[in-house]
Amino acid sequence: MSQPKVPFGIAGFGLHAVKRLMPAFAIAEHSIVVALSRRDLKNARASAEEYKIPHAFTSTEELARCPEVDAVFIATPDALHLSDALVSFQAHKAVLCEKPMAVNSAEVEQMIAAAKNAARPLGVAQVFRFEESTRRLRERILHGSIGRPALARAEFCYPAYESPRSWITDPKLATGGPIADVGVHCLDALRFILNDEVTAVSCSAVQDEQSGEVESAGTITLEFARKTIATVAVSARAQYRTLIEIAGEHGVLTAFDGLNVERPITIEFRPNIDPRQVEREEVSNHLAYARQLDAFALAVRGEAPFPVPGIEGLRNQLILDAAYRSWRTGQRQVLAS
């Protein structure tokens, strides 16, 4: 007999919940939404009615106290992640937190400590770890398809001026601009695909009138322990684009639009011995969000550890912290081992 689905509450039910989470819950095998929170009670009740969610609240604290909720998905602005996680752990709920995990690594450390004290799972929603594209790239590299990875790059562009998330340029709510918003996806994907850790970071960025105090575009250079050099390029002004490419001693792997979840992705392998002999493979990432939810549900049940626990969020946050220090100081930042 199958177990009942793990009941989630979504804190900060907004665009991300509507566009990504609810379609994922609709096909998830082990996860269901039973509660949501929005700042305005009228809007909260309207969303709950539209999506047939039993409970609507105006705060994460109220949501976390709901006895029918076992796990809280935190989808609020970045600066609220710490307080939302703390009240959830105080209510003895598991927490799956959107990226970036917090505004700095010190806050992430507090979240990890709170999870340990509550003895409840803490995960970070780095959804691209659940994609077929990143899985296949990781497998090809682990199996030696390109030899030792020498260079890697990840690009993520999106037109932020079209986004209803008005808070993403508010430095009181957002960890940063596109470096924190989508750059964290890129650096996490590279860490996962290369199965390696970053040892040093350099960063440059620009601002414009629309971005205000946060950046509108930037580049990060990542130095990995096994000597791969990677670049992450992000922009909040260009049209949507994601690309991952890894060049090694024996060939090059490229995933065109490799981080998207809406369209099929073509992965190409070009061997150095004859770049004209291109291998192509098409994969789909449409199950990534549902896989992420179900993986966390299994962790809540105690059946399997979540693949992206809080410590992974901390490692990403330390890289983000270093990137912003590098931008502000103009100096390369070496990370502690």
Spans of all domains in the chain: 6-127+289-307, 128-285+318-334
Please state which architecture CATH assigns to domain 128-285+318-334: 2-Layer Sandwich (3.30)
Please list the alpha-helical segments (H only) found in the chain. 15-16, 22-27, 41-50, 60-65, 81-90, 105-118, 132-142, 178-181, 183-194, 288-301, 310-329
Tens digit of each residue's pLDDT (9 = 90 or more) over 103-143: 999 999 999 999 999 999 999 999 999 999 999 999 999 99
Tens digit of each residue's pLDDT (9 = 90 or more) over 255-275: 999 999 999 999 999 999 887
Beta strand ranges found along 130-226 (DSSP E): 149-157, 198-206, 217-224
Question: Taking 80 as the threshold, does the pLDDT of residue 166 lie above it?
Answer: no
Mean pLDDT of the chain, nearest integer: 96
- Length of the chain measured in residues: 337
What amino acid occupies position 271? P
17: tokens are 């919940």
3-class DSSP assignment, residue 180: helix
Q: Which CATH number fits domain 6-127+289-307: 3.40.50.720, 1.10.3720.10, 2.40.50.140, 1.10.287.4070?
A: 3.40.50.720
- Return the DSSP state at 53: -
Over residues 14-34, the mean pLDDT reads 97
What gap in Å lies between CA 88 and CA 106, rounded to an integer? 18
Burial class (CB in 10 A: 0-12, 13-18, 19+), 117: exposed
Q: What percent of the chain has pLDDT over 90?
A: 92
Find where tokens 């949507």 sit: 240
What gap in Å lies between CA 283 and CA 114, rounded to an integer? 38
Are the CB atoms for 301 and 289 separated by under 8 Å?
no
Question: Taking 70 as the threshold, does the pLDDT of residue 1 lie above it?
Answer: no
